[in-house]
Chains A and B, each alone.
Chain A
Amino acid sequence: MTDMVVSVASGKINDIVVCDLNKEEDNYGEADLPMGILPNSGELVFLQMDGDLSQEEFKQAWDYNMEAAQVVHEMMVDALKGGESQ
């Protein structure tokens, strides 16, 4: 196994780009960008988006997802190694 898939989503609520939407934010927000990321290579296996994002907002949501994927990936690795971050 060369990598693990991390799924993260960012979106927009009241014109503010945010990471990790909850249900209400997803339902009533203005945009949603879920991505499936391979954190080691930075490649993408999944990409979907709905709503209205300017190019700048889109870039920001994309960067949030890439950053969050690294954090989640570290936690996944920790958990597999015996749970230092548990």
Chain B
Amino acid sequence: MTIPIVPKLLRAHLGELAANDARIDGRDRWEGRELEVEHSVLPRAEGSARVRMGDTIVFAGVKFQIMQPYPDRPNQGGLMCSAEVRPIAGRHWEAGPPSPESIELGRVVDRGIRESGCIDVDSLCIIPGEKAWQVILDLFAISDDGNLFDAFALAGITALRNATIPAERFEVGEDEPLMLSKTPIMCSYHRVGGRFIYDASGREELGGDERIHITLGDDDNVHSLQKGLKGIFTADEFEEIMSHACDRTKELRKLIS
């Protein structure tokens, strides 16, 4: 990722807007952008989804492969999640090996899904110590207008919820749906103009500061938290964010269930 030049004018403008409790695209502080979620959009994948949040567009695809279980966990399969953002998504993304930013995207999404325990890794075992399913979740950004984290997380969990284990093709039984016991949902917040806002656009990310990612499961259980970029925040600010995340994750969960 090229280091974006942060225009002083943009920061100043975002600050002025914040002072009047306004945002650059007219949204409320806690308002998300127009959202579209579709599943099973890629015929060659075993599970897939497309998510559009404003001008941010991403795809998620699920594939399965047979792995040998790790020696210390002979009865378990695995999950592998990675994100790719190519220059097609935006001119600040470069071609070449994965950038630290895209690695972080994959890891933060991976942690929320993995730590929620929504995939029963024991159920992925085919023959203990010999064969188990590895779930591969690939995330691709087509257009980056900010908050790729939430778009990837939502596309990822939607694709997994609609995935089929291709046992027939591998000659190890009959095809069956991948069972998920929970639906972890991520909400991300950026400090823009001195206060936190939900679902930052590209310009808000460019002229903003630190960010906080929260993944909540069913019953509002916390599965992963991550702070990104430099900055300091107060306990009160966090409480406000957490309270919004509890409401918003429920809405999003309903949307994809």
Binding site for B on A (CB under 8 A): 33, 38, 41-55, 58, 62, 66
Contacts and interface: CB of A to CB of B under 8 A. Distances in A.
B227 A46 contact: yes
B233 A44 contact: yes
B225 A49 contact: yes
Contact of B222 (A45, A46, A55): A55
Interface stretch (B28-36, B42-50, B109-117, B154-162): B109-117
Q: Is the interface of A mostly helix, strand, loop or mixed?
A: strand
A50 B232 contact: no
Nearest to A37: B235
Contacts of A62: 235
A66 B40 CA distance: 45
Contact of A33 (B221, B225, B227): B225
B112 to A, nearest CB: 9
B235 A44 contact: yes
Nearest to B214: A49
Contacts of B232: 38, 43-45
B234 interface: yes
Interface in B160-195: none
A55 to B, nearest CB: 5
A44 B219 CA distance: 26
Nearest to A66: B235
Contact of B115 (A44, A52, A66): A52
B142 interface: no
Please classify the interface of chain B as helix (H, G, I), strand (E, B), loop, or mixed, using the class held by over half of its residues.
mixed
A25 to B, nearest CB: 16
B212 A51 contact: no
Nearest to B227: A47
B225 A52 contact: no
B219 A54 contact: yes
B61 interface: no
Contacts of B208: none
A42 B234 contact: yes
A58 B222 contact: yes
Contact of A50 (B115, B217, B234): B115
A43 B234 CA distance: 5
Nearest to B231: A45
Contact of A49 (B219, B224, B234, B235): B224
Interface string B223-245: 11111000111110010000000
A54 to B, nearest CB: 5
Interface in B91-122: 111, 115-117
A35 to B, nearest CB: 9
Contacts of B223: 50-52
Contact of A54 (B220, B226, B235): B220
Contacts of B246: 55
